[in-house]
Structure 1
Amino acid sequence: MNYLKEYNELTAICPKTYIKYSEPMENHTFIQTGGIADIYIKPKHINDVQKIIRYAKMNEIPLTVLGFGTNVIIRDKGIRGIVMNLEYLNDITVNENEIIAGCGASIIDVSRTALKHSLSGLEFACGIPGSVGGALVMNAGAYGGEISYVLKNAKAITLSGDILVLNESEFEFGYRKSIFQKENYIILEATFQLINSDPAEIREKMDTFTALREEKQPLEYPSCGSVFKRPPNHFAGKLISDSGLQGTRVGGAEVSKKHAGFIVNVNHATSTDYLMLIQHVKETVKQNFDINLETEVKIIGEE
């Protein structure tokens, strides 16, 4: 379908909004792959988010919400309809021992803000390269911490354009799961409840986590982070390593030699390269250990 008419209408509805027609998504993902989005739009205000959502619903146009593109693979055929990126909703404010952050703020920046104000609880997030919205959706975690431990409430919007405020009893957090993911709620803002602590101790934890990340993760290449969820009583990386898959390539995608849980873009990989390599890894681990690996990375776009 040609969405040029819809592009022109959205430009009129949201005249001050960044909007592109036929935008390559390889420019908006950490792995630097992905096909064309028919309409790519970055609203600066919540009321524009509502307008876009209601326009998409009224006109039955597919709507995809994208954060920083850190934990996503967009197929090479691209994404039909509208892709809405909320990275401009990135305000961060501090109110005593609470931090209120827009969904488009970097979770790393939020952790640094916490350090600046001697607030503890977000040290684990100091190396997670994603947005606040993405972190909530996936209940992101590392080094013994996770979003569920510190989130007090969240403002979200439904696919009908209705704004909700959810509290702790409604999050339904689990391992890489949340109510936001389950109900396709679009996060607008998060409030984190932290505790006062010694900034030197906070910094020491963050420095330790950063050093561990740099030592163990292949940060020198584009990647989509940890590809697979942790199977019960196992570690995905060890299963992959024990299967002899480190260094295995499909096209320009490679199972990292540094950390088997990562697949890196070493030579102009396509999303198809990634998906074929993921399938090979899953089949090999299943054959060797009778364990079904599930992807943690989100795979979207036209098949």
Structure 2
Amino acid sequence: MTELINQLKDLNIGIVKEGEPLANHTTMKIGGPADIFIEPSSVEGLQKTMELLVDNQVEWTAIGRGSNLLVSDDGIAGAVIKLGRGLNEMELDDGQLRVGGGYPLVALATQISRKGFSGLEFASGIPGSVGGAVYMNAGAHGSDISKVLTKAYILFPNGKMEWLDHEEMDFSYRTSVLQKKRPGIVVEAIFKLTEGDKDLISAEMQKNKDYRKTTQPYNSPCAGSIFRNPLPEYAGQLIESAGLKGHSIGGAQISEMHGNFIVNTGNATATDVVALIEHAKDTVFAKYDVKIETEVEIIGRK
């Protein structure tokens, strides 16, 4: 790995580190080291990174702001590519929004609302990046990314980049083709927005933010919703009805505010969180004969 790290540094692609703790890069503040941690400073740097990793047959994992993610205590083998400040440009032209995969989703929704454009109000409290949101078809308040995305520019493992239109993204509830069939990195996304009343848009944004503040534990380290809703049921309600609100294993606790959130109370490990996830699954199934599946991605060394 040392030779590869030196090659990456020689390419001047951005930040390159060995053994970087991924707890520093996840909203849950959990995660062991990455063999190689890379934060490209540009799309060109990302392409060069991928070419070198492919040439050296090194496996890779992409992350954004680290929400909706639980990283193993033993870290991640190979390279971890973080889409951040180098891929966060934004351009709005008559309702067409072109934005980099590293742009923070909450900041984007706020910026767009101030310009009087509607379509991203639902995202006002989702603590991820544009790339991650497209990857998992993030949503809330009755809407999601699939409602506004026109197309996405994807970097595939072979180093090729390609635009996928809305149909090719194959969106469904909290998932896309990038999870199911064609793994890749969202470099850019294009959204179609509509012009509207700034005051009404801002009021809707504020309502969504207030709802999250009063019902969800975003002041504590967490990964967002842990489980997909087994519609027409809701995972949080099932977990709360099963008497699991506040239940802890090690430093991981099912939130006192919302049953579909697990918080890190200060010293939680990924092992604690996984054990609590399995306990919640088993308890809900035993009581209600309903299977709940994880929405959070669990990645890294087993």
- With the shorter chain as reference, the TM-score category is over 0.9
Residue 83 of structure 1: aligned partner:
80
> How big is the shift at 1:158?
0.9
Q: Which residue of 1 aligns with 2:187?
A: 188
1:35 matched to 2:25? The reply is: no
- d(CA) in 2 for partners of 1:171 and 1:78? 29
Letter in 2 for 1:266: T
Cα deviation code 1:159-217 (max 9, x no counterpart): 10111011122121100111222211211001110111000000010011111111100
Measure, in 1, the Cα distance between the counterparts of 2:243 and 2:5: 48
Instruction: Provide the rounded CA distance (Å) in 2 between the counterparts of 1:166 and 1:62.
Output: 23
TM score, norm. by length of structure 1: 0.97
Q: Any stretches of 5+ residues in structure 2 without a counterpart?
A: none
Report what 2:172 is aligned to: 174
The equivalences for 1:40-59 within 5 A come to 40-59=37-56
% same residue = 39
TM superposition shift of 1:16 = 4.6
Q: Map 1:134-283 to 2 at 5 A.
A: 134-182=132-180, 183-283=182-282
Structure 1 residue identity aligned to 2:32: G
Alpha-carbon distance between aligned partners in 2 of 1:128 and 1:232, rounded to the nearest angstrom = 21
Distance in 2 between the 1:143 and 1:280 partners? Answer: 28
1:214 partner SS: helix
1:98 to partner: Cα distance: 1.3
Moved more, 139-148 or 161-170: 161-170
Paired residue for 1:124?
A: 122
Structure-2-length-normalised TM-score: 0.97
Amino acid at match of 1:209: N
Letter in 1 for 2:96: E
> In structure 1, the residue corresponding to 2:223 is in which secondary structure?
strand
- 1:281-300 pair list within 5 angstroms: 281-300=280-299
Structure 2: how far apart are the matches of 1:164 and 1:208? 37
What secondary structure sits across from 1:254 in the alignment? strand
